[in-house]
Amino acid sequence: MARIVNIALNTFRESIRGKLLYIALVFGAVMIISTYILSPLSVGAAKDKIITDVGLAFISFFGVMTAVVTGSTLVYKEIDKRAVYMVLTRPVSRLEYLVGKFLGIMAVLVLMVAIMSVLMGIVVVLGGGSLTGGILAAIFLSILEMAVICSIVLFFSTFTTPALSFFFTLCFFVAGSLSGDLRVFAQKFGSGTMKFIMDVFYYVLPNLRLFNLRNEAVHQVAIQYSDILLTTVYAVVYCAVIIYFSYLVFRKREFV
């Protein structure tokens, strides 16, 4: 466990030193603050809804993009610079190495989301609104979504280049966001083969719709916290499975 923590801390420090985190934070802050500037275009309760909706959307977007960009380069960069050799020659298993990398990236994402959430909270309060349990739940599910995306990009980074890891992960993100709709469409209009294929895609791809709670947060719809618990379990299990598959691929790589 101590080895995993050390790898995670080193990954966290390395990512913090990079410019990507600061760029994401600056752009995220600008976009969130812009919602408060543009909100006078609406009146009444709609103003708070615009601030909350756009703020949560930008938190999710910048978080996912940071996960994809950071994760796609991290392992490859260490292999390219041969830094991975020094780590793996020590009593560190490849599974511990991958888990440490994953936790390190997630620490960066949680820090980034925390800062952006504080900024959004300030904007919401200044706009006359208040932070509700729904908003906090939506932010929490966004972090879980980032964890799933992070595990996927980590998987691709174990055997391909950063550009391809970035592309494949974005494909998974889009497909995971639309898999439910495509499955419903196939069940209504598709053939038997198409229905089977879409069922396979639906259960294999991450169901990212589960992590989107923005509509409920914006319109203050009652939230079933049992559903949040089940979604958390789903995210943890999915990440664990993907990281294990990453290990199966990574352990076969020869570093010479």
The predicted pLDDT at position 75 comes to 74
Per-residue pLDDT of the chain (256 residues), as tens digits, is 777 787 788 777 777 766 666 766 777 777 777 766 766 665 555 667 777 888 888 888 888 888 888 888 877 777 766 666 666 666 777 788 888 889 999 998 998 888 888 888 887 777 677 778 888 999 999 999 999 999 999 999 888 888 888 899 988 888 888 777 766 766 776 677 777 777 777 777 888 888 888 888 877 777 888 889 999 999 999 999 999 999 888 887 665 5
Domain contains 193: yes
Domain contains 93: yes
The predicted pLDDT at position 39 comes to 61
Domain contains 114: yes
Domain contains 14: yes
Burial of 166 (0-12, 13-18, 19+ CB in 10 A): buried
pTM over 0.95: no
Domain contains 74: yes
Domain contains 220: yes
Domain contains 256: no
Helices (H) and strands (E) in the chain, counts: 10, 0
Domain contains 255: no
The predicted pLDDT at position 47 comes to 67
Cα separations (Å) of 165 from 9, 34, 72, 74, 202?
A: 23, 32, 5, 11, 21
The predicted pLDDT at position 201 comes to 73
Q: Identify the domain containing residue 88 by its residue range.
A: 2-250
Q: Which two tokens stand for residue 237?
A: 């299990």
